[in-house]
């Protein structure tokens, strides 16, 4: 295998053979490909694209660059969910224990925040003692005992993806659909899943702003995943406003526990969680139809079993045994809590969701650089949904900040994210489409 020949052929728009892709990725994982060659390959793919078969080959090669887990001894269907990222999107925190309570095994490999979007691992690190990077033996033990484990990508899983992503991040090739597809799916395939549900976000708070862009990515993910032998369905969901009524790490853990306790019924968040739970249960074959799957998920919540599985997961991964019962004693609290008030009466008509997410980053709840520490206390909560009728002076959100000056800045930034109109805006569906 001559790396520059593979790069040249892709640069010139040729279709690469699966063996060529496999050899290139194997060499990349062994540091036998230079950063310049990897960057050139990524740029060639960015401009020339890849066919479905090429993308399947790339995904499988990246999967096989490291450890591939096997769950044949678990005795339950093995399933997972992945979101492309948004603001106030804490669905994974509730979805994993709901699915576990319904009889699934959920070995969920999650990530940190990226740009304006929150990261599931950052949220879980709000919980004292929670180990986001257990070794394989502990990971398996937690999945077996709690039914679910939400952890980070270890060095052994898809190492070629980790190296290629770092290069893409600094060479303006992140947005390539084949490379995004292979990056997401290689890690999921390495986790040994039998089925996968994808949540592809659409709107001004997501990486895919337009429905056509999101559909292109969703179709690529579904087609490649199924081509690689992983049964997959994708839901396209709205991200033109925060999904939950909280954005920020500890605040989203609090929101998760409130949801599991039945305090968030009738919300957009509930719609997405139940829809994705139903897709997981249907794909795993434990529900006969959509209505039965929704009923199972609702029962897992109402019975308290979903909360029990969340609690078992937290404790098994090093968190307090009584975390769910005494969360106020454990979750960090910001010293400054300030209201954002409406300057006029009317209806909340639009939200600059990305800017709201960046307000959380500015408060210290996200990272400007990979090495930045996270302040788990800070963020925004009590966020009103679009379409809410308000009076002048009503609270539309609350700021949680570490200093008075940070609070003042965030109050102004969040207020500027919202438009208020005299007429009630048309309601937008939270689930835009399904691709199976």
Where do runs of H (alpha helix) occur along 261-378?
Answer: 268-284, 290-302, 305-316, 327-330, 353-360
CA 262 and chain centroid, separation? 22
Nearest residue to 190 (alpha-carbon basis) of 155, 163, 215: 155
Q: How far is CA 344 from CA 347, 364, 389, 390, in A?
A: 9, 30, 11, 8
Q: How many residues does the chain have?
A: 436
Among residues 76, 123, 188, 268, which one is catalytic?
188
Catalytic residue flag (residue 216): no
**What is the residue whose two structure tokens read 């438009």?**
419
Q: What element of type H or E holds 79?
A: strand 79-83
What DSSP state is assigned to residue 114?
B
Catalytic residue flag (residue 338): no
CA 290, 292, 295, 300 torsion-angle sign:
negative
Catalytic residue flag (residue 261): no
**What is the residue whose two structure tokens read 């799916």?**
185
Catalytic residue flag (residue 305): no
Among residues 117, 154, 176, 183, which one is catalytic?
183
Among residues 187, 312, 354, 376, which one is catalytic?
187
Among residues 10, 63, 81, 377, which one is catalytic?
81
Among residues 64, 80, 122, 238, which one is catalytic?
80
CB neighbour class for 23 (10 Å; exposed up to 12, middle 13-18, buried from 19): middle
Which positions ≥6 away from 402 have C-beta within 8 Å?
334, 335, 336, 363, 364, 375, 377, 378
Q: How many C-beta atoms surround the C-beta of residue 303 within 10 A?
A: 11
Catalytic residue flag (residue 83): yes
Among residues 10, 82, 163, 338, which one is catalytic?
82
3 state SS of 151: strand
Catalytic residue flag (residue 376): no
Among residues 120, 186, 220, 237, which one is catalytic?
120
Catalytic residue flag (residue 209): no
Catalytic residue flag (residue 290): no
Catalytic residue flag (residue 183): yes
Structural contact between residues 50 and 178, judged by C-beta atoms closer than 8 angstroms: yes
Active-site residue list: 80-83, 120, 168, 183, 187-188
């Amino acid at each position: 295998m001559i790396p520059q020949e593979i790069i040249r052929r892709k640069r010139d728009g040729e279709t690469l053979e699966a063996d060529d892709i496999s050899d290139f990725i194997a060499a990349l994982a062994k540091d036998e490909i230079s950063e310049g060659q990897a960057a050139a390959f990524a740029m060639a793919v960015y401009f020339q694209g890849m066919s479905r078969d090429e993308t399947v080959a790339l995904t499988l090669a990246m999967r096989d660059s490291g450890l591939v887990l096997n769950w044949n001894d678990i005795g339950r269907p093995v399933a997972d969910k992945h979101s492309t990222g948004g603001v106030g999107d804490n669905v994974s925190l509730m979805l994993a224990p709901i699915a576990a309570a319904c009889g699934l095994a959920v070995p969920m490999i999650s990530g940190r925040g990226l740009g304006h979007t929150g990261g599931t691992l950052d949220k879980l690190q709000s919980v004292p003692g929670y180990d986001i990077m257990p070794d394989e033996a502990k990971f398996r033990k937690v999945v077996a005992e709690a039914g679910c484990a939400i952890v980070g990508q270890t060095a052994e899983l898809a190492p070629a993806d980790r190296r290629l992503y770092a290069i893409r991040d600094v060479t303006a090739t992140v947005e390539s659909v084949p490379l995004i597809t292979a990056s997401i799916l290689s890690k999921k395939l390495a986790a040994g899943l039998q089925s996968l549900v994808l949540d592809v976000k659409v709107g001004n708070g997501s990486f895919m702003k337009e429905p056509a862009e999101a559909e292109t990515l969703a179709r690529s993910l579904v087609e490649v995943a199924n081509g690689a032998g992983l049964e997959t369905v994708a839901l396209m969901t709205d991200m033109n406003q925060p999904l939950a009524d909280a954005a920020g790490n500890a605040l989203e853990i609090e929101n998760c526990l409130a949801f599991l306790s039945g305090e968030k019924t009738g919300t957009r968040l509930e719609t997405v969680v139940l829809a994705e739970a139903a897709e997981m249960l249907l794909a795993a074959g434990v529900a006969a139809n959509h209505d039965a799957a929704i009923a199972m998920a609702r029962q897992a919540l109402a019975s308290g079993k979903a909360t029990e599985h969340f609690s078992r997961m937290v404790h098994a991964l090093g968190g307090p045994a009584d975390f769910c019962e005494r969360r106020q004693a454990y979750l960090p609290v910001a010293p400054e809590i300030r209201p954002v008030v409406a300057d006029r009466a009317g209806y909340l008509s639009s939200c600059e969701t990305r800017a709201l997410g960046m307000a959380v980053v500015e408060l210290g709840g996200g990272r400007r650089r990979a090495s930045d520490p996270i302040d788990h206390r800070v963020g925004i909560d009590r966020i009103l949904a679009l379409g809410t009728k308000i009076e002048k002076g009503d609270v539309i959100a609350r700021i949680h900040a570490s200093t008075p000056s940070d609070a003042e800045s965030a109050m102004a930034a969040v207020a500027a994210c919202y438009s208020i109109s005299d007429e009630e805006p048309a309601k937008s569906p939270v689930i835009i489409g399904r691709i199976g």
